[in-house]
């Protein structure tokens, strides 16, 4: 039972789901959590854990069995994300690999492309990333400058990307590139196998404010030649439409992670204020502490209720872009509020890196930026008014 005393709804409390949840938590807690400090120091999760996660069925759990997946639904993706937080494992980019990269291939790839890439993603032989953001574009995907031009039977890609999650590890990367055409029909997606690929170069593993264990990197393409079957979709110019169709799930992922972060922060804070004393009393015994935690528990419970309602809609195929945008913006705003107020209850110790709340406070800030900034979410919501 979580600190929220939140009973999972029936659709998220089935025997098979709970077995998967227990297996994921035990793997994260027993096999990975002991190495968290090493992950943060090296700015990357060791590559072997991708293969181990694949053997555990934690990679591509919603992909059909004929492509190497488990054949489950979005509930398994939620578990993969939630249990990472509960087990205190930082920086493992499974949700991007599983719930963003793989669905692009499943939904828009040819049968040959699915057979070629998805089974290797399920085992961890391929680690996925998606290269959207460029130094000068941010959330403005229509301004992407990376270009892809036809060259004989293939394509030549030139440009650069930044802030790429899994960028230091990934060897199967979806690249957003301009292929000409007008407006929304000017962008295309290419699935690129990077091992020994001429013209592909990784830049720095970026030094971030938080989330140190996540290998976020720069990528460079210098006359990078890829075969014709790297194009995702039946023809060039479909990239922007494909991106827009997949973004609701990406934004729901961020809300799910945000709620899990809230719960983790509250758990650490409640444990601390029960033990820490000031002026001869436990911090918890002060009415201000009680009022603060009452408010934060309420916020987190509302956030979880809304996010789970979105997830249930998504399972039915009914989650729209506007509702997903509301979840992403509101939950992550409240996530950062909870982190700040929890840290305050730790006093000076909250500012020490040895306390998990300090790392959470820093790491949560990016949730309001990636997946489309919260300002962009408000633009999308306002269009529905």
CA distance 117 to 60: 11
Q: Which of 250, 292, 295, 375 is labelled catalytic?
A: 250
Kind and range of the H or E element at 158? strand 154-165
Q: Is 250 a catalytic residue?
A: yes
Residue 206 CB coordination number (10 Å):
16
CB of 187 closer than 8 Å to CB of 199: no
Dist. CA 32–CA 48, nearest whole Å: 11
The two structure tokens encoding residue 35: 């190495």
For 64, which DSSP code?
Answer: -
> 136, 39, 135: which is closest to 84 by C-alpha?
39
Where do the H-state alpha helices sit in 58-170? 74-86, 94-96, 102-108, 111-123
Return d(Cα 263, Cα 280) in angstroms, integer. 28
Q: What is the separation, in whole angstroms, between the first and last Cα of the chain?
A: 39
Structural contact between residues 279 and 289, judged by C-beta atoms closer than 8 angstroms: no
Active site positions, annotated: 250
């Amino acid at each position: 039972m979580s600190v929220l005393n939140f009973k999972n709804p029936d659709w998220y409390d089935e025997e098979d789901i709970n077995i998967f949840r227990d297996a994921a938590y035990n793997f994260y807690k027993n096999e990975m959590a002991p190495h968290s400090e090493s992950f943060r120091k090296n700015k990357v999760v060791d590559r072997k854990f991708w293969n181990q996660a694949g053997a555990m069925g934690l990679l591509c759990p919603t992909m059909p069995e004929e492509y190497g997946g488990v054949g489950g639904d979005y509930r398994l993706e939620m578990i993969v994300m939630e249990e990472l937080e509960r087990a205190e494992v930082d920086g493992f980019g499974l949700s991007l690999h599983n719930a963003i990269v793989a669905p692009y291939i499943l939904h828009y790839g040819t049968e040959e492309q699915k057979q070629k890439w998805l089974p290797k993603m399920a085992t961890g032989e391929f680690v996925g990333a998606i290269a959207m953001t460029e130094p000068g574009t941010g959330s403005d995907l229509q301004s992407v400058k990376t270009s892809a031009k036809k060259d004989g039977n293939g394509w030549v890609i030139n440009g650069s990307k930044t802030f790429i999650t899994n960028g230091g590890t990934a060897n199967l990367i979806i690249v957003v590139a301009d292929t000409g055409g007008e407006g929304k029909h000017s962008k295309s997606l290419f699935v690129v196998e990077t091992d020994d690929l001429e013209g592909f170069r990784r830049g720095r593993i970026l030094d971030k404010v938080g989330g140190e264990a996540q290998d976020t990197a720069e990528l460079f393409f210098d006359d990078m030649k890829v075969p014709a079957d790297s194009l995702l979709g039946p023809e060039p110019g479909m990239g922007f439409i494909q991106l827009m169709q997949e973004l609701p799930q990406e934004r729901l992922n961020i809300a799910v992670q945000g709620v899990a972060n809230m719960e983790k922060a509250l758990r650490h804070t409640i444990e601390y204020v029960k033990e820490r004393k000031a002026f001869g009393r436990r911090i918890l015994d002060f009415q201000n502490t009680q009022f603060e935690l009452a408010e934060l528990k309420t916020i987190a419970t509302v956030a979880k209720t809304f996010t789970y309602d979105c997830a249930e809609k998504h399972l039915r195929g009914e989650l729209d872009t506007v509702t997903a945008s509301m979840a992403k913006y509101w939950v992550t705003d409240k996530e950062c509020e909870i982190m700040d107020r929890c840290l305050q209850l730790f006093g000076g110790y909250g500012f020490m890196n040895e306390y998990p709340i300090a790392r959470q406070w820093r790491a949560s800030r990016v949730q309001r930026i990636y997946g489309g900034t919260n300002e962009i979410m408000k633009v999308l919501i306002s269009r529905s008014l």
